Amino acid sequence: MAEAAAMQHPFIRAVAGGVVLGDGATGTALRARGWRGRNDAAVLHEPALVRQLHEDYIEAGADVILTNTFTANRSLLARDGLGDRVRDANFQAAKLARDAREIKGASVFIGGSVGPIGRDLAVGAWTLAQAAAAFEEQIGALLEGGVDLLVIETMPSLQEALTALRAARAATDIPVIAMVNFNGSLTSPAGDAPRDIARALTEAGADLAGVNCGVGPQAALGMLEAMAGHEAFAPLAVKPNAGLPRVAGDQLVYPSTPAYFADFALRAKDLGVAFIGGCCGTTPEHIAAARRALRGPAVEVAPPATRWLPLGETVDTRGSVAAAEELGGEAEPIAKREHARLRDKLAAGKYVISVEIDPPRGINPRKAVEGARELHEAGADAINIGDSPMARVRMSALSLAVQIERQVGIETIIHQTTRDRNLMALQSDLLGAHALGIRNIIALTGDPPPEASQSSAVWDVDAIGFIHVLKRLNAGVDFAGNSIGRATDFFVACAANPTADDVDLELRRVRQKLDAGADLLMTQPAYDQATVREFFERLGPIEVPVLLGVLPLMSSRHAEFIHNELAGVVVPAPIRDRMRAAGEAGAAAGLEVALEHVKETRTLDFVSGIYIMPSFGRYEVAAEMVRRIAAGEGEGAGG
């Protein structure tokens, strides 16, 4: 629909709000850190080295970090016998960048780097049609890996840049930066003039257009001056080298200092440049200097200060401290909830919307908290928080839940698995969660830990046994029957999978969860009403509310991944065909599919709301979906 097509990408909003700072060099920085292979192979053979570089750029203050895929196309990978690993290299590179973002907990964008084909095209061994196919292959893998935007860079000619740009625009509607290389004569190596470059890239659909690499900051400014000031052109982007290098032993030494680069960044800003980053020879120190020059200190990557109240005190919405009533010493959230509790909304018949947020893989929760705030403002009723999903180490769901409830004021549902805790630890964590004000728990068995995690699963009880534990705490006793003093007040959710491989087994287990006392049923994503209806008809009468899982699809590749690689989730062939036909408008098509599914399933008597699971941390997609539902879209015949 038109509304979905008009949904503005957060990167475009960021560009409209001021200069967006990119990261610096990848290849030269990796070599300075000891890597001696081809740059693109580092993601396969030394992933920790690549991820650490991303983390360093985030800490330096970059708003955008680029994947280590500049030479990860079929032509260049084939030189090292890796021509059949285009998908692996690009997907892994995107994943490493996303991992770094999660570890640092910063709201940075992941840019998928797409470089030139190289010698094969230059000498005529490849045609432009073959180059286009190689760009399509690489871009498809980057999209599958979850990049937020594409960065076409260092193209030796406008012709090759346009070939890559058209491949990008045929594949996706996410933002694209397109940049051409340049020389001391202030043209591309192929002789294209600056204004011709800016005009052609704009007309071909680039969201930002400009130059990168080249002969250094001074010449880059000359190129930008020739492009600037034309309202018909896309906003400008630039990523110069740190000057022309000299050889010192087996190293290339670049002359431009961080201070000189910072001065360049200010001059580029004065020309109206929207995106500024660094290319060969630039380092995290260059980016940190540019950050200080452009907008003050580097991005704060330490956890934001949280004011923890003494027991028995609370802060109202005006910030005054008052003595709390004697309620067992529980502190209220700093950002007070303004609405009824989740259980009360469900009991009143409100159509409830919960959205899942994954905790960070490091110690900074900022991105997750900001995502929760955006979703809360859009109209979400609750935030689901995973418990080290996919059996990968993350910040505890409880810690993030407390920070979200206190800083944002939206209620949370924490996932808790029996995989990682024995019975004693499970009960201890629950008592602590209750003391911190957390009331909603979804009881899960948990994904098995991968061999590489070097962790052992516990599983003293499964999800069914866990529900019994929670209900005993609600009765005032622990699992062994010992009194805990005052009873807890947990609202207990359980999971169901309407598309499970063994539906009979799943139905038996769901019935056991309900019989154990679950208060709420939340499902895995299902993409057609018939499957959902058949599952619940076979399940039989239930007296608890149901939140249906909705996972908005982002692209055709994403749909195929969900269908073929995410255990227990089925995407019907007509929807996969529809996503394939959507081409570059995959995210918009996926949103429409999700809204149509919501509308269809709202007519089912047992459905009380939805549980949205955004992919790749794209909370803005979930927020748009929440806003459109709040505006009346997705309402069924019965409202």
3-state secondary structure 564-609: HHCCCCCCCHHHHHHHHHHHHHHHHHHHHHHHHHHHHHCCCCCEEE
Q: Give the CATH number for residue 405.
A: 3.20.20.220
- Mean pLDDT along residues 603-627: 92
Give the pLDDT of residue 244. Answer: 82
d(C-alpha 283, C-alpha 286), whole Å:
5
Domain boundary among 295, 321, 351: 295
Last residue of a domain, one of 295, 330, 364: 295
Lowest mean pLDDT among 30-44, 318-332, 360-374, 444-458: 318-332
> What's the pLDDT band for 501 if we cut at 50, 70, 90?
confident
Q: What is the mean pLDDT of residues 402-407?
A: 95
The pLDDT score that the predictor gives to residue 311 is 30
Same domain for 255 and 356, yes or no, is no
The one-character DSSP state at 22 is B
Q: What confidence tens digit (pLDDT) does each residue in 351-399 have?
A: 999 999 999 888 889 999 999 999 999 999 999 998 887 667 889 999 9
* Model pLDDT, residue 455: 65
**223 & 370 share domain:** no
Mean pLDDT value of segment 244-271: 86
What's residue 314's pLDDT? 33
In terms of average pLDDT, the best of 12-21, 240-249, 297-306 is: 12-21
Q: What is the pLDDT of residue 8?
A: 83
Q: Does residue 539 belong to any structural domain of this protein?
A: yes
Q: Model confidence at 296, in pLDDT bands (50, 70, 90)? A: low
What number is the average pLDDT over the span 330-354? 74
Give the rounded percent of residues in the chain with a pLDDT score beyond 70. 89
Same domain, 277 and 356: no
Hey, which residues does 633 pair with through a beta bridge?
A: none
Of the ranges 259-273, 301-315, 531-545, which one carries the lowest mean pLDDT score? 301-315
When comparing pLDDT for 250 and 409, which is higher?
Answer: 409
Model confidence at 315: pLDDT above 60:
no
136: in domain = yes
Quick check: 312 pLDDT over 50? no
Which residue, 241, 270, 295, sits at the end of a domain?
295
Same domain, 533 and 410: yes
The larger pLDDT score, comparing residue 567 to residue 161, is at 161
* pLDDT reading at 2 higher than 90: no
The DSSP string of 463-530 is HHHHHHHHHHHHTTB-TTS-B-SSPP--EEEEEE-TT-SSHHHHHHHHHHHHHTT-SEEEEEE---HH
Confidence of residue 316 (pLDDT cuts 50, 70, 90): very low
**Per-residue pLDDT tens over the stretch 46-98:** 999 999 999 999 999 999 999 999 999 999 999 888 899 999 999 999 999 99
Residues 139 and 234 in one domain: yes
Residues 353 and 273 in one domain: no
Beta strands in 174-214 (DSSP E): 176-180, 208-213
**Is residue 328 one of the residues assigned to a domain?**
no
Distance CA 578, CA 476 (A): 52
Q: Averaged over 144-169, what is the pLDDT? A: 96
459 conformational bin, left if phi > 0, alpha if psi -120 to 50, beta if neither: left
- Please indicate, yes or no, if residue 182 is contained in any of the structural domains: yes
pLDDT in tens, 426-472: 999 999 999 999 999 999 988 776 555 456 778 889 999 999 999 99
Which pairing describes strands 236-240 and 208-213: parallel, antiparallel, or unpaired?
parallel
Q: Are residues 264 and 355 in the same domain?
A: no
- Residue 80, pLDDT score: 82
Summary mean pLDDT of the chain:
87
Whether residue 583 lies inside any domain: the answer is: no
Q: Does 250 share its domain with 127?
A: yes
What does the DSSP 8-state code read for residue 237? E
The secondary structure element, H or E, covering residue 21 is strand 20-21
Domain assignment of residue 9, yes or no: no
Look at residue 162 and tell me if it is in a domain.
yes
Q: What residue numbers bound the domain in which 507 lies?
A: 340-551+606-619
Indicate if the pLDDT at residue 600 is higher than 50.
yes
Residue 201 maps to which CATH number?
Answer: 3.20.20.330
Measured distance CA(150)–CA(172) in Å, rounded:
9
Contact 103, 366 (CB under 8 A): no
* 133 and 68 inside one domain: yes
pLDDT score of 328: 34
Q: Name the residue with higher pLDDT: 279 or 586.
A: 279
Whether the pLDDT of residue 635 is over 90: the answer is: no
For position 249, what pLDDT does the model report?
62
Mean pLDDT calculated for residue range 500-512: 93
Residue scoring higher pLDDT (441 or 122): 441
Whether 579 maps to a domain, the answer reads: no
Instruction: Assess whether 363 and 457 both reside in one domain.
Output: yes
| Domain identity same for 397 and 487 | yes
71 & 186 share domain: yes
Going from the C-alpha of 261 to that of each of 111, 186, 380, the distances in angstroms are 21, 19, 43
Q: Is the pLDDT of residue 1 over 60?
A: no
Q: Work out how many domains the chain is built from and give that number.
A: 2
